Amino acid sequence: MILQMLKEKLDCVAGLSVSERGTGKSKFLYVCSPTRAVEVAETAAGIWIEFWDDIDKEDEVVVNEEIVISHAEALAKIKGWLCPES
């Protein structure tokens, strides 16, 4: 349910591409801008976010991982990483 809420909010952000990947308990969102991406999944501990940089290169790099509690905090962190100018 949290992933669906995040997907609906992120689908409305210009310049972002949002897709659902995986199945069952392995389901996650992959959200990307032209140069950065995040993977978002629900875990028992909260909402897990993995931040990626330089996705246009073969050797893309995981920059950070975080677990947050609320969908509002997840949304803010995702948008802050993918849309730093806004």
* pLDDT tens per residue across span 24-67: 889 999 999 988 999 999 999 999 999 998 777 666 667 899 99
Report pTM. Answer: 0.89
How far is residue 55's CA from residue 58's CA, in Å, rounded to a whole number? Answer: 7
Lookup: tokens for 84: 């730093």
How far is residue 29's CA from residue 19's CA, in Å, rounded to a whole number? Answer: 6
Question: Would you say how long the chain is, in residues?
Answer: 86
Q: Render pLDDT for 9-20 as a digit per residue (tens, 0 to 9).
A: 999 999 999 999
